Amino acid sequence: MSEQRNRTVTVDYSGGGAIAHVRLNRPEKKNSLTLHTLDELVSITHRLRKDRNLRVVILSGEGDTFSAGLDFGSAMRSPSGIAKAFAPRPWRGTNTFQEATWGFRRLPVPVIAAVQGHCLGGGLQLALAADYRFTTPDATWSVLEAKWGLIPDMSGVHSLSSLVGQDVAKRLAMTGEMISGERAVNLGLASELAADPEAAALELTRELIGRSPDSVAQTKKAFDRTWHLDPRATFATERLLQARLLVADNTRRAREAAAKKAAPVFAPRRVR
């Protein structure tokens, strides 16, 4: 199943609609992000969030690169568009630049980024919004905003703070230095090296689909909600999410399948 109406982002489905392949689709421009692309990403994540049959999202770039970041040439031709995109949405706490990336973190399913070629600036911040990131060893990663006299402002400050030490985050954001995929893994920006990141993402997807969609969703929620909280608040969240799972239909299905040593057949996800 395929959806091709978006000009700069495409969404293809596999696994009977359980897997959404979201691809940046400007290979001739190294998949750089226009204001229109940001709007598309926001729309796509909001739509995917409502899909109870969705199990995993794989995020990648068409061609031989992930994303070279914001297309400043295109964006600067529309000062009013930048102003509109920069204005925050009070009910979400993000503006368009931030929601285009953080919308993937809001999804109740795992998001896996497959990175090759360039992963720069806004493209890097998009990759950091994924739950897991495969990268080729020779990919180029950079918090490139420093080159333009800016800071990472597409949710990157928060993402960096949850992935690397403060000293590393400051160095990367202050210098904009280019690092390889291998070094990105060593620093904690990327999760794992892979010669073929999309193939690695699909392999991980097969493991995830074998688990209860509600358990996977609640696990993502548990870590995202508590990563910077104190132990007492974390324990309370654990109890609440676990109590909901204990009475869930998909938990029963997982338990019965495990007892029979059979492959479980799950109902659509209940967790939003």
Contact 110, 57 (CB under 8 A): yes
- Given a contact cutoff of 8 angstroms between Cβ atoms, the answer to whether 204 and 132 are in contact is yes
* pLDDT value for 272: 85
Task: Name the CATH architecture for the domain at 2-208.
Answer: Alpha-Beta Complex (3.90)
Calculate the alpha carbon distances from 241 to 136, 140, 215, 217 in Å: 36, 38, 9, 10
Start-to-end CA distance of the chain, whole Å, equals: 23
Identify the weakest region by mean pLDDT among 8-17, 73-82, 112-121, 170-179.
Answer: 73-82
Question: Which two three-digit tokens encode residue 5?
Answer: 């109406």
Question: What is the structure's pLDDT at 90?
Answer: 77
Report pLDDT digits (tens) over 255-270.
999 999 999 999 999 9
Distance CA 238, CA 219 (A): 9
Give 6's pLDDT tier (boundaries 50, 70, 90). Answer: very low
Report the distance separating Cα 126 and Cα 185, nearest Å. Answer: 16
Q: What confidence score (pLDDT) does residue 4 get?
A: 52
Per DSSP, 113 falls in state E
> Comparing C-alpha atoms, which of 52, 166, 157, 159 is closest to residue 113?
159
Q: What's residue 79's pLDDT?
A: 87
Neighbours of 167 (CB within 10 A): 8
- The pLDDT of 130-141, averaged and rounded, is 98
In the chain, what's the furthest Cα-to-Cα distance?
62
Strands of the 132-135 sheet, one edge to the other: 2-3, 9-14, 19-24, 56-61, 111-115, 132-135, 192-193
Domains of the chain by residue range: 2-208, 212-260
167, pLDDT greater than 90? yes
Mean pLDDT of 150-177: 97
Rg (CA), the chain: 19
Residues of the chain above pLDDT 90, percent? 90
CA dihedral 223, 227, 231, 236 (to 10 degrees): -40
pLDDT higher than threshold 70 for residue 42: yes
Asked if the model's pLDDT at residue 43 lies above 90, the reply is yes
Structure tokens at 187: 């620093």
Could you tell me the pTM of the whole model? 0.95
Phi, psi values for residue 20, rounded to 5° = -105, 125
Which residue(s) pair with 132 in the sheet? 112
Residue 185 pLDDT = 98
Computed over every residue of the chain, the mean pLDDT equals: 95
Q: Over the stretch 99-127, which tens digit does the pLDDT of each residue have?
A: 999 999 999 999 999 999 999 999 999 99
| More confidently predicted of 30 and 82 | 30
Question: What is d(CA 69, CA 145) in angstroms, rounded to the nearest whole number?
Answer: 9
Check pLDDT > 60 for residue 3. no
The CA dihedral of 103, 152, 31, 107, to the nearest 10 degrees, is -10
Q: What is the pLDDT at residue 27?
A: 97
Asked whether the predicted pLDDT for residue 163 surpasses 90, the reply is yes
Residue 268: exposed, middle, or buried by beta-carbon count in 10 A (0-12, 13-18, 19+)?
Answer: middle
Instruction: Tell me the average pLDDT across 38-47.
Output: 97
Three-state DSSP class for residue 56: strand
For the segment 199-254, what is each residue's pLDDT rounded down to a tens digit? 999 999 999 999 999 999 999 999 999 999 999 999 999 999 999 999 999 999 99
